[in-house]
Structure 1
Amino acid sequence: MSDDIRPEDDNEGGPVFRDKRRIDPETGEARQSPADAQAAAAEAAEAAQPAASAPDASAPDPDDLTAEDRALLEGEAQSLADERAGFEAQIAAGQEEVRRLQAEYVNYRNRVERERAADKAATTASVLSALLPALDDLDRAEQHGDLDGSPLALVAQKLRASIAGLGLEAVGVVGEPFDTAMHEAIAQLPNPDPQATEMTIADVVQRGYRIGERLVRPAKVAVFVPADAPAE
């Protein structure tokens, strides 16, 4: 029997054969002993450790830098800092420009909306001005009682409602204070109230009209003048 295959007794009393040949008879390759396998595994594990754990021999030691090298590094650092500051300044300037443009756009939009509203009011006032004589005729007919019980009363009601829907408002009401911005005084009467201190409307001769803040036509009125007011 070869020395590479030796029988041994197992615990049950039977022979056990262990193959200790160093050459595998099937593949022809050398076999590793358990000790050789452990040594190879330890060597592979040591080689697999990260290279970062070892000191980088190529990195210069700060203590070994010369004054010229230090000055060069400091110059590069200052250059990078200046470049960063320049970029930050450009970003800040760009943000400020964006805010300025946004504010200009908001102002432009508001101005356009105001101008559009003013143009609309002017156009509406121009169209409704042509209807004011018809409204005056209806007012006079109503004062004389010509509308009572006639079909024209319904027409007058619808016409006034339609015009009011376009924003036209009547100006001049008996008893309200006289306002030169909206009223035109065509007659002055002494106020029967001795306690009165301001001019008030005594009668509306012709209605005035406005659209919003735009006066289409002032109201022609007769006014009460306080007794102590100077004569004009």
Structure 2
Amino acid sequence: MTPDNTEQEPVTFVDKRKIDPETGQIRDAEPVAEPLAGDATAPQPGSVDEGASVDEGTESDKGTQPSEAAPKSDELAERTADLQRLQAEYANYRRRVQRDKQSDIANAKASVVGELIGVLDDLDRARSHGDLDSGPLKAVADKLVGALTSLGLSEFGAEGETFDPSLHEAVQHEGEGHDPVVGTVMRKGYKFGDRILRHAMVAVTDRVGETDASTSDQAAEPAEAEQE
């Protein structure tokens, strides 16, 4: 005997009853062919139903992609903005720390140099008496002055300078004050960079120049007139 390889057809029956036993209503004239229970065949691969289900699934997946990509894009933009804000804050912090550090260094130097101004006054008095013309003390004084100058210390208040109230402290004033200049320096002034450590104590007088020349010219004119 050879096995039957032919595909078995599904068994159906024809219900010729005119009244539906379940609903009690009159049926149509044509009988309805119904398959027996359990004989319904599953859809074959590649059938229309399977393809429709695949297409529906693909369309549903395509429909969900934009909605899922939008939150990710918003989250990425938010994280990028947070990172840029943190970088800006850190850069400002570094600049502020560097600025404060430089200010602290300048204040420390100015404080130390300010304490040595009294030593410079003593050296100036010794120099005016001729004690620093030669010898080991002169070398020490020169090294000290050179070191302070290299740090940014400078002196002001020499005779003949234009009087500046922000730099000079006038304790004596001679003349009418049309063009005041420094006459006598009683104490030098010192600056450390742009910071004034001590004002110069001076006596103020009028500048000798155009005023004296004009006075001499006016005195010479009557003498020339008498000679004529």
In the superposition, the TM-score normalised over structure 2's length comes to: 0.55
Cα separation, 2, equivalents of 1:116 and 1:186? 39
* Equivalent residues in 2 for 1:130-149, closer than 5 Å: 130-149=115-134
Give secondary structure in 2 for the equivalent of 1:154: helix
Whether the 8 Å contact between 1:121 and 1:211 is mirrored in structure 2 is no
- How many residue pairs match? The answer is 162
Give secondary structure in 2 for the equivalent of 1:129: helix
Give secondary structure in 2 for the equivalent of 1:190: coil
Are positions 1:123 and 2:121 aligned together? no
1:127-154 deviations in Å (ceiling 9; x for gaps): 2222211101111222343322344222
Cα separation, 2, equivalents of 1:223 and 1:172? 11
Cα separation, 1, equivalents of 2:62 and 2:96? 51
Partner residue of 2:175? 190
User: Cα gap change, 1:183/1:56 in structure 2, threshold over 3 Å: closer, same or farther?
Assistant: farther
Whether the 8 Å contact between 1:190 and 1:226 is mirrored in structure 2 is no
Cα separation, 1, equivalents of 2:76 and 2:204? 67
Partner residue of 1:8? none
Partner residue of 2:191? 210
Which residue identity does 1:222 align to in structure 2?
A: A
Q: 1:108 aligns with which of 93, 98, 105?
A: 93
Q: 1:201 aligns with which of 182, 190, 198?
A: 182
Q: 2:137 aligns with which of 152, 165, 169?
A: 152
* Equivalent residues in 2 for 1:22-171, closer than 5 Å: 59-60=51-52, 73=59, 79-171=64-156
Gap regions ≥5 residues in structure 2 = 1-45, 209-228
Alpha-carbon shift at residue 121 of structure 1 (Å): 1.9
Cα separation, 2, equivalents of 1:140 and 1:60? 110
Whether the 8 Å contact between 1:191 and 1:226 is mirrored in structure 2 is no
Cα separation, 1, equivalents of 2:101 and 2:144? 26
User: Cα gap change, 1:107/1:154 in structure 2, threshold over 3 Å: closer, same or farther?
Assistant: same
Which residue identity does 1:114 align to in structure 2?
A: R
**Identity over aligned pairs, percent:** 37
Cα separation, 2, equivalents of 1:77 and 1:108? 48
Partner residue of 2:201? 220
RMSD value over aligned CA atoms?
3.7
Cα separation, 2, equivalents of 1:208 and 1:100? 48
Cα separation, 2, equivalents of 1:191 and 1:141? 35
User: Cα gap change, 1:87/1:123 in structure 2, threshold over 3 Å: closer, same or farther?
Assistant: same
Give secondary structure in 1 for the equivalent of 2:204: strand
Alpha-carbon shift at residue 204 of structure 1 (Å): 3.2
Gap regions ≥5 residues in structure 1 = 1-54, 228-232
Alpha-carbon shift at residue 161 of structure 1 (Å): 0.9
Cα separation, 2, equivalents of 1:112 and 1:179? 36
